[in-house]
Every structure is written in structure tokens, then in C-alpha cells.
Structure 1
Amino acid sequence: MAHKSEDLFDCILMADNRFHGEGYREGFDEGTRQGMIDGRKHGASHGAKLSMEVSFYYGFGITWKCLLQNNTDVKASLSILCLRKRLKALESLLGLIQKFPHEEPHYENLQEDMEKVRAKFRQVCSILNVPADFSDYVKTGGSGGISF
């Protein structure tokens, strides 16, 4: 009889360990699942913001390149050397953006390359004598506005 009571006693004592282990595994699995969901949401949101920023720089570069190449008033007012310098800087910005790995989600140098694009954008703005801060022109906030 002592043997059965020992088994029952062991079962009761071990239940705490068993429930603790099961609770830990269930919590870990749920945390992993929720972490994946949250990570995907964060990644999609961050990717969309980054994409908008790069698209803005690209549109800016294309627009200014067209203005400088096609506007005869601008060509007449700028020296050839100054015009070439501006076009070269714009080409450099556009080249950085075109080399950007748009389809590679695990790109290791994303932050470094994005900083290069931002620095080149600021340089182009300086050469064009255009303010690099567009916060006055671009609506910010949660209603679909752009902010970077």
C-alpha cells in the first residue's frame, strides 16, 4: 500500500513540474507566433516608409535632371561647368538608387547604402541650392503623409 501512496505522492509533486513545463512551452509557442506577426507588420511598415523615401529621392532626381537638360533659360544662366557638375551629381544620386536592391529583403548593407543615398541627396540639394528639408512641403502625420 505504501508503494501506491508513494506513486500518488510523486504524481502530485511532479504535476507542478509538468504543468510548469507545459505552460512554458505553450507560452513560448504563443510568443513566437505573436512575435512573427508583429515582426511582419513592423517590417512591412518600415519597408513601405523606406520605399517612399527612396521613391521621393528618385522622383526628385529625375525631375531636376529633366529641368536642367531641357530648360533653355537654365542652360543660358548657368555655365557649362556648373551645369555638368549638377548633372553629374544628379546622375550619381540616380545611380545609387538604381543599384539599390529593391527585391532583396535580407540585404545586409541596407542601412549603410541608405545613408549613402541620403548623403548624396543632401549634396545634390546643396549643389542645386535647394533646401534639403522638405518638412514644410510634405504633409506629415498618420493620414498617409510622408515623413523622413
Structure 2
Amino acid sequence: MDFDLEELVHVEQTFYDEGYRDGYAHGRIHGLIEGRALGREKGFEMWEELGFYEGFALMWAAILEKQGRRDDRAASNIRHLLDLIAQFPKFNPSAAEPSELDIPKLFRQIRSRYKALCATLGVRPTLRAGGAAGSPDGDEDPAHSPIEDASTDSTTVWKIDNKPRARGNNDLSF
């Protein structure tokens, strides 16, 4: 019976290498599964935000159209915002087709154009589509901008036993 002493010396490294290969293969499978799930979740959040911006712009475009204001600054901002949204890819390009489009940069441009449009219209920029709103009694934290943190998944619940807030001495009672 041949006994290789060299093999006995490297037994720990052999087990380590075999465990590493098994762990790597296992991690690759689970990483793909988790990556796809996270990609779906984040993609949905991005499209929810884009849908909000597009709906906002289309609503204000209709309002300005009714008012006959087609050539003012707000209408220009609306056109630019809608053009930027139209540039956003509607499918996920495969790894075989590398894209030249910088999606985070385009998303920042869309957010900036939305904020500029809100400033032009005199409207406070918020994103209420994702559930990121102020407190239930209407007070919003000015330091927290829901537009920057659209990924919050908080559900606002009002207590049933809450008493209405006093509005002041000017209230009329009928």
C-alpha cells in the first residue's frame, strides 16, 4: 500500500479548496436569484416614480393648454421633462448589448427637471405615489425630501382615538 505523506500535509488545503468551489457555485445560484428579485423591486420603484412625473407633467400640460399658455416657461419645462422620460429605456438590455445610456444620470436629470417644473408652477415637489408622504396630520418634515428617498416603503396609519387638532379661534360653528 502506497502512502503519500505529501498528500497528508496538504489535507487542510484540499478540503478548503473543495469547500470554496462548492460555496462559490452555491453562492452564484443564490446571488442570481436575489439579484433578479432586487432588480425587479428597484425597477418597479423607478418606474413608479417615472410614472408619477409623467402623469404630473401631462396633467399640467392639459391645464396650461386649457389656459392657452403654450409658450411660457412651464410649458417648456413640461416638454423637456416628457422628452427626458421618453429617453428612459423600456426594456432591460442584455449583457451582450452594452448600452451607452447612463441611467442614474438620466434619472437625476429627470428629477432635476421635475423640480424645476415645480418651482416654475409654484408647487412643492413631492412624490406621494410610493407612500412617502408627510405625517397623517399634514405636517411634513422639511428636512426629509420624499423625492430623494422614494424607496421608503412606509405605510401611514392613523389612530382611531386621535382627537382632531384645534385650528384656532377663527373657526365657525354651524
TM-score when normalising by structure 2: 0.64
Matched, 1:102 2:90: yes
| CA offsets 1:68-96 (integer angstroms, 9 cap, x no match) | 112xxx45xxxx58x62221111111111
**Which residue number in structure 1 is paired with residue 62 of structure 2?**
66
Supply the distance in 2 between the matched residues of 1:104 and 1:11 (Cα, whole angstroms). 49
Rounded to whole Å, the distance in 2 between the matches of 1:124 and 1:142 is: 26
Alignment match, 2:117: 124
Is residue 111 from structure 1 mapped to residue 104 from structure 2 by the alignment?
Answer: yes
- CA positional deviation for 1:144: 7.7
What amino acid maps onto 1:133 in structure 2?
A: T
Instruction: Work out the CA distance in 1 between the residues paired with 2:18 and 2:121.
Output: 64
How far apart are the structure 1 equivalents of 2:28 and 2:91?
26
Q: Is the 8 A contact 2:49 2:130 kept in 1?
A: no
**Which structure carries more helix by proportion?**
1
Amino acid at match of 1:101: P
Task: Give aligned pairs, total.
Answer: 132
Q: 1:138, 1:15 → 2: CA distance?
A: 55
Cα deviation per residue 1:20-75 (whole Å; 9 max; x = unaligned)? Answer: 211110011112222222211221111111010011000000011011112xxx45
* 1:100, distance to aligned residue in structure 2 (A): 1.4
In structure 2, what is the Cα distance between the partners aligned to 1:38 and 1:138?
22
> Contact 2:130–2:153 (CA<8 Å) still a contact in 1?
no
C-alpha separation between the residues in 1 aligned to 2:10 and 2:130? 63
Which moves more between the two structures, 8-17 or 92-101? 8-17
Tell me the SS of whatever aligns to 2:72. helix
SS at match of 1:121: helix
- Percent identity (aligned): 25
Find the partner of 1:34 among 13, 30, 33. 30
Match of 1:89 in 2: 77
Superposition deviation, residue 10 in structure 1: 4.1
User: Matches of 1:28 and 1:113 in 2, distance apart?
Assistant: 35
TM-score normalised by length of structure 1 = 0.74
Q: Which runs of 4+ in 1 moved over 4 A?
A: 105-108
The equivalent residue for 1:15 is: 11
